[in-house]
A = this chain, B = another copy of it.
Amino acid sequence: MTKSPRFEPVQPVRAYQRIVEQVEEALIRGDLAPGQRLPSERELVAQFEVSRSTVREALRVLESNGVVRSRPGDPNGPEILPFSQAALRKQLVRLARVDELTLSELIGFRMIMDGAAIQVASRLRTPEQLTEMEETLVAMRAAIDVDFAAFGEADLAFHDVIAQISRNSLIQTCNEVVRGVVLSLISDKIAHAGNSRALMLESLQHHAEVVDAIRAGNGHAAARIARQNMYDYYASYVPDEDRETLRALIDD
């Protein structure tokens, strides 16, 4: 009656993989927490009953995944790292670098994400959070007189507040990661020292309009302005033929 046992392909599980699994599982179970230390490599050799090569290969994998960090000479052993989006960003950067993702896709993604987050935030925000947003605006204004990097940080803080209000850290993570990827892709082209101040002032103006719209409870308008700002800010880096697609994203 049974048609076929539905066998699945099986590949050998290597020793170092099982070590990785055990460590990661301990992390998920909470037996291991960030800041804690793993036993030294030679101690792990004894516990797992494998050779040091195997232990080291497992540690390299964990290290590349951002789970632990080994420092030579540290008597406390490898350190369990706090969870971070660094590994996530690394993977995204890889995808972007090999041209699986174009710059316009990344920017389009941010336009959608940021717009959606702002729309949600305009509904959920408390008066205190509105004040918080206004403060980041002041910080942005002050940063303009410092340098471009400072302005970028202040801008990041603004978007962080938005994401926080929208009660979704995944949005925040995605925005930060994609933002970092975009900046790394256009970093070599940021030679526009000339008009940068004007661009920053315009960006600040747009942000202020966003806050105004949020204050008025007009989520649609806020989101639209945000997308417009994003487009103006990055459009010059996008190939002509992709700009139309991005423009289509601006209006609601």
Contact = CB atoms under 8 A, between A and B. Distances in A.
Interface stretch (A36-44, A95-103, A195-203): A95-103
Interface of A: 11-12, 16, 20, 24, 27-28, 53, 56-57, 60-61, 63-65, 71-72, 83, 85, 87-88, 90-92, 94-95, 97-98, 100-101, 105-106, 108-109, 112-113, 115-117, 119-120, 123-124, 167-171, 173-174, 178, 219-220, 245, 248-249, 252
A177 B45 CA distance: 36
B168 A98 contact: no
B220 A169 contact: no
Copies of this protein in the assembly total 2
Nearest to A172: B105
A251 to B, nearest CB: 8
A100 B28 contact: no
A123 B248 contact: yes
Contact of A100 (B64, B71, B83, B105): B83
A115 B113 CA distance: 11
Which 4 pairs, one residue from A and one from B, show the smallest C-beta to C-beta distance?
Answer: A61-B64, A112-B116, A88-B91, A109-B170
A101 B28 CA distance: 13
A98 B83 contact: yes
A1 B105 CA distance: 44
A173 B171 CA distance: 15
Nearest to A100: B83
A130 to B, nearest CB: 17
21 contacts: A20-B64, A61-B64, A65-B91, A83-B100, A85-B95, A87-B91, A88-B92, A91-B91, A95-B173, A101-B170, A105-B168, A106-B170, A108-B167, A109-B170, A109-B174, A112-B116, A112-B117, A113-B113, A116-B116, A124-B248, A167-B245
Nearest to A61: B64
